[in-house]
Amino acid sequence: MTGTAAVDGDVVDVVCLGESMVTFLPSRPGRLADVPSFARTIGGAESNVACALAAAGHAVKWVSRVGADGFGDHLIAAVAAYGVDTSGVRRDANRPTGIYFRTATDRATDAHEVLYYRAGSAASAMSPTNVPHEDLDGARVLHLSGITAALSPECLGLMRVLTARRAGRPLVSFDVNHRPGLWREDPAVLLDLARGADVVFVGEDEAEEAWGLRGAAAIRSALPEPAVLVVKQGAQGAVAYTRPARPARTPCASEADVADVAGHPEDTVTHVPAPRVDVVAAVGAGDAFAAGFLSATLRGLPVEARLRHGHLTAAATLTVAGDLGTPPPTAYADRLAALDDERWGTLHLGPGWTAADQAMEEVRTS
């Protein structure tokens, strides 16, 4: 797969389907009960990926449902401001736009609090019958996440349809994104959905929590079907399992993107350590990683470069307070991704590192 932004209205690099919400970030650290005010922003796994990909120059469409309310107006305008096509977002006069509040602490700590107000939201009503095929057709990649499957039985039904293997479908990218607070079903359902995808992203920690699987190799054993499996290992980095390629079986997928699992049982295993990052907030980093990896995939880069671009895009989000960071300019990211192993291993990124196309020596390597 090659190229970046579409040259006409009929070509879309990536369609991202899922709920986005208006997010309220605290004005200071502390319990939600003690925070006096909040700043309004946006958040949602799939729209985060869409915005990051659009900021990187790709033609991206976001498909969802929002309420016919002011928060819905804000979401559509905010996502569109990144250059994302929002024509696939439907308005629902009977259901509200979802919102949520969170504390400033790391999601992994016991002090982290999140309050979702998304039950019965417009997006939770997405189903196989009300998401038009024309909103999804023609994309080179369809990006989904397990969060959508957790919103309602109707959304789960939609996800089953979209991850079913069929001729002519786009390359399907699936981020497991297990959220225990949302999930009503057996989380093994997420494993079933992931098996239908071509590219899967999953955190080592969430695979253990959801499925009792320990270690990247065990995850790959449970998920042999995807042509590409990326296991994220936090600050330790990420490992990609890729299968030897076969000729494309869909109009959009290249021989580098789709593999014949039955005919080529061997994996190529590629591990790339994460750079050292001065973390401001961890929320949204997984979405950013997926965007960076998919961007490099669309550009036909090798697997190691895809993982490095995933790490760099994640670092852009880790070094800001909100769910969305500004990706580094492509040429700048390419230079960093091309560092030799020694210099990559000493890369140190802090707040503001993506602000300009800096000279190489301006990035700390220590």
Residue 338: both structure tokens together: 């091309």
Active site residues: 287
What is the distance of C-alpha 112 from the center of its chain? 21
Nearest-CA neighbor of 203 among 169, 228, 238, 244? Answer: 238
Q: In the block, which residue shows the tokens 């039955």?
A: 262
Sequence-ordered list of residues with C-beta below 8 angstroms from that of 57, at least 6 positions apart, any chain = 4, 5, 330
The C-alpha atoms of residue 220 and residue 241 are separated, in whole angstroms, by: 8
Nearest-CA neighbor of 100 among 35, 46, 21? Answer: 21
DSSP state of 362: G
Three-state secondary structure call for residue 297: helix
The C-alpha atoms of residue 112 and residue 106 are separated, in whole angstroms, by: 6
Residue 69: both structure tokens together: 């309310």
Cα dihedral angle (163, 167, 169, 175), rounded to 10 degrees? 30
